[in-house]
Structure 1
């Protein structure tokens, strides 16, 4: 059965492979992916610190509802989640999605948005190692594991974990 998946990013600073590889895995499995951002237009991805591709935004997050989607993917990159967690519509969307019980997959620095959404109390998650203190301060447990599944949260540490991250996300949708 085809599922509708929301990808949520800021306007720039997105780690390219953390957007494109899950997108390709999901659409390759027959699902529909939609890119949400705080504003319509385009988003700029990066290969670490080098500008990479631009991608068109399908919809502004303020006009979207978690009820319209079957899962949420939060790509990382350092600047992306740092900017996204300052957007009240994005933070509310993430919080509502997590509390809905539907799958939420966050990789690398995207955990910052989960911290900001205040949804980590008592949860185990994987993320980039520099986020350990933020995760603990938010009531979560940081795990140095390729992929961590805790209820509806699917998390991974870095782009090297993408094969396991994508497999866990596809499994959650089956």
Structure 2
């Protein structure tokens, strides 16, 4: 399966990118780094610069149809920048319209709010997004991982880096389940 990891050119929380990426790779899937600009993205350890990573494709050259699932890593600046880019928002919305699984951690649900895809769904996030999610019609819960199978598509969410040990296996299991259902 091809899995898109959507990140802004700067501001992604490195561990929320690298650990799910490794889990997807270990599951035998092919992750691709998608961003709003070509080149390299700058990751962070909270507010300190960390490593850079090469962009595989930009949002202007891809669609949800190119992938089997989407991972939205967090970081405060990353989803805030993405939700200001209409192409990134449309890319995310496309996964929901196609009924494909989406995983989001920490602050990443901000882009889900912008894409207007949380209405009627139950999800978790970094606690400061609680009001935004509720105002967008979603139900916010304080859980390590929340899997919401409201149609169309499955949404897997988690609160923070400390939840990655629960988030990563949930993501790979739900992606596999969705892929098997699509093939049946």
Bucket of the pairwise TM-score, normalised by the shorter protein: over 0.9
Deviations 1:99-132 (A, max 9, x none): 2111100000000000000001110001000001
Partner SS state of residue 149, structure 1: strand
Partner SS state of residue 108, structure 2: helix
Among 130, 134, 138, the alignment partner of 2:136 is 138
How far, CA to CA, are the matches of 2:13 and 2:171 in structure 1? Answer: 18
In the TM superposition, structure 1's runs of 4+ consecutive aligned residues that sit over 4 Å from their partners are: none
Among 19, 22, 32, the alignment partner of 2:20 is 22
**1:159 maps to what in 2?**
161
**2:119 maps to what in 1?**
121
Task: State the 1:173 CA deviation.
Answer: 2.3
1:53-132 mapped onto 2 (5 Å cutoff): 53-132=51-130
Partner SS state of residue 7, structure 1: strand
Aligned residues: CA RMSD: 0.6
How far, CA to CA, are the matches of 1:38 and 1:106 in structure 2? Answer: 18
Among 37, 44, 47, the alignment partner of 2:45 is 47
Could you tell me which runs of 5 or more consecutive residues in structure 1 were left unpaired when the two chains were aligned: none
Q: TM-score normalized by structure 1?
A: 0.97
How far, CA to CA, are the matches of 1:79 and 1:33 in structure 2? Answer: 22
Partner SS state of residue 154, structure 1: strand
Partner SS state of residue 164, structure 2: helix
Could you tell me which runs of 5 or more consecutive residues in structure 2 were left unpaired when the two chains were aligned: 177-184
Task: State the 1:29 CA deviation.
Answer: 1.6
